[in-house]
Amino acid sequence: MARVVVEGGVSLRGTVTVSGAKNAALPIMAATLLSRGPSILKRVPMLRDIETMGEILRGLGVETERMSDGSIRCETKDESTVLAPYDLVSTMRGSICVLGPLLARRKRAKVSLPGGCVLGLRPIDLHLKGLRALGARIEVEHGYLVAEAEELRGAEIYLGGQFGSTVLGTANVLMAATVARGTTVIDYAACEPEVQDLATFLVKMGAKIEGIGTPRLVVEGVDSLSGAEHTVIPDRIEAGTFMIAAAITRGDVLVDQCRGDHLTAVIDKLQEVGVRVERKNGTIRVNANARPRATEITTHTYPGLPTDLQAQFMAMLSVADGMSIVSEKIYPDRFMHAAELNRMGADIRKDGPNAIVQGMSTLSGAEVMASDLRASAALVLAGLVARGKTEVHRVYHIDRGYERIERKFQDLGARIWREDD
């Protein structure tokens, strides 16, 4: 199994180009199930999760091909199958977003229940509530969601849950509503840029959606959708990861081809701890020359600070000047990385959905284990600032969501490489 090795102590310098957003590309790929015409998707990152979605779609009769210019062409050829199997869905929870389009177009779906993951239980009750409100019958049988609907009808749906809105739940209900009969109102819809991007793609396919980017989406069902061409938005989580990397190494990095307006909470927090951040024409320059100050971090739904950057911020606060508090409002159990950071000399204590981080002047390189995608990125960041060598095991997690991560860090001067066991 591969591991990433980092030798810390280099201040990152240079320019890094952000890839397309994985979490926008996944539901957009699933949305191509809604039409028979070909769709061309540009700026889809080359990642394991994208390959998995391609495999699921091929199993569902969608021809999915990576073109020579890097774009992905998807075209539905056969609508007779409705199965998303366990072996694929269990590797990537994002695959749940084929449920809505399958129900809408094929009137049936058999999708493996994704199960929990290191982030916690991760229920899908809100997805089911929304789809049932549109008229679907959904049962759980032998670990699978077995769903059917003769006809989906528009409805008023409140999609708020214990932890606020749901990103993929909104995506599922929105996709199903585009071809339902009549009007659907989704209240407490997720406002994340990835949901906005999906809605924009659906509109290009012929859907009628109002309120994109707001918590109330109004969808007027249409008879059918066509294929469309779309360029996926830049990955705000990848961009944020490099911004924090610049801050933690006291470097000077230009993050290129990103959307500063998707990152205002991140920019604000970095400025608060003493980092210089400058936004200009689709770039963000991050420049730090001192130890970051301690602070409080609370994750929220968009436009709040994203949970997918909580681990990376925690790595930064491990070397901040003073005591910080990190509160996780989306996944109260998302703290697996804390124990691994402690193996590197960090001082982090968990207290319910909060972590108390006593900043240390330095960390020391160690062998550590990645528990999930963002945790692995956090361990790489800690490795960049630690004394000596850090080996991040189970690095397959990182390949799910970061395109050529070690190459991008190498281009910024980092001493980082991949080794096979």
Part in contact with ligand EPU (CB under 6 A); list of ranges 31-39, 125-133, 147-155, 256-264: 125-133
Per-residue contact string for residues 30-49; x = within reach of ligand EPU by CB under 6 A: --------------------
CB burial string 187-207: b at 16+ within 10 A, e below: ebbbbbbbbbbbbbbbbebbb
What lies within 8 Å, CB to CB, of 85 at 6+ separation is 59, 112
Both structure tokens of 274: 């003493």
* Binder among 23, 35, 52, 196 for ligand EPU (CB under 6 A): 23
By CB under 6 A, which span of 64-72, 155-163, 349-357, 409-417 interacts with ligand EPU? 155-163
Shortest separation between residue 215's beta carbon and ligand EPU, angstroms: 13
- Please pick, among 97, 117, 191, 258, the residue that the annotation labels catalytic: 117
Cα 59 to Cα 61: distance, rounded to the nearest angstrom? 6
- Looking at the Cβ atoms of 125 and 419, the one nearer to ligand EPU is 125
Interface with ligand EPU (CB under 6 A), residue from 16, 18, 25, 26: 26
DSSP 343-363: HTT-EEEEETTEEEEE--S--
Q: Which is nearer to ligand EPU, 57 or 275 (CB)?
A: 57
Instruction: For strands 283-287 and 252-256, give the pairing.
Output: antiparallel
* Smallest gap from residue 306 Cβ to ligand EPU (A): 6
Nearest-angstrom CA–CA distance, 347 and 364: 12
Q: At what angle do helices 125-133 and 99-106 cross, to 10 degrees?
A: 20
Q: Determine if 196 is a binding residue for ligand EPU (CB under 6 A).
A: no
Among 307, 310, 312, 390, contact with ligand EPU (rule: CB under 6 A): 307
Span interacting with ligand EPU, options 117-125, 131-139, 248-256, 342-350, rule CB under 6 A: 117-125
Minimum CB–partner distance for residue 224 and ligand EPU (Å): 26
* Longest CA span, the chain: 63
Spatial distance between the Cα atoms of 235 and 21, rounded to a whole number of angstroms: 4
Q: Is 126 in the site for ligand EPU (CB under 6 A)?
A: yes
Stretch that binds ligand EPU, among 29-37, 157-165, 225-233, 389-397 (CB under 6 A): 157-165
Q: Please, what is the minimum distance in Å from the beta carbon of residue 126 to ligand EPU?
A: 3
| Tokens of residue 11, six digits | 């201040």
Shortest CB 166 distance to ligand EPU, Å: 3
Among 127, 262, 269, 394, binds ligand EPU (CB under 6 A): 127
Round to whole Å and give the CA distance between 82 and 176: 15
Using alpha carbons only, give the angle 51, 26, 268 rounded to the nearest 5 degrees: 120
d(CA 195, CA 403): 21
Query: Is 168 an interacting residue with respect to ligand EPU (CB under 6 A)?
Result: yes
Q: Could you give the C-alpha distances from 223 to 104, 153, 179, 417, in angstroms and in order?
A: 11, 12, 6, 52
Count residues binding ligand EPU (CB under 6 A). Answer: 26
At what angle are helices 236-248 and 373-385 packed, to 10 degrees?
Answer: 20
Closest Cα to residue 156, out of 203, 200, 189, 201? 189
Q: Which of residues 329-358 bind ligand EPU (CB under 6 A)?
A: 330-331
Shortest Å, Cβ 89 to ligand EPU: 12
CB 253 within 8 A of CB 215: no
Q: Return the number of the residue (8 or 401) whose C-beta is nearest ligand EPU.
A: 401
Site string for ligand EPU, 70-99 (x = CB under 6 A): -----------------------xx-----
Region near ligand EPU per CB under 6 A, out of 81-89, 140-148, 158-166, 282-290:
158-166
- Asked if 117 is an active-site residue, the reply is yes
Which of 57, 37, 23 is closest to 205 using CA atoms? 37
Does 112 sit near ligand EPU (CB under 6 A)?
no
Figure out which of the listed residues 77, 150, 151, 162 binds ligand EPU, where binding follows CB under 6 A.
Answer: 162
Q: Which residue has the tokens 């759980």?
A: 140
Catalytic residues: 117
Chain positions contacting ligand EPU, by CB under 6 A: 23, 26, 93-94, 122-127, 161-163, 166-169, 190, 194, 307-308, 330-331, 373-374, 401
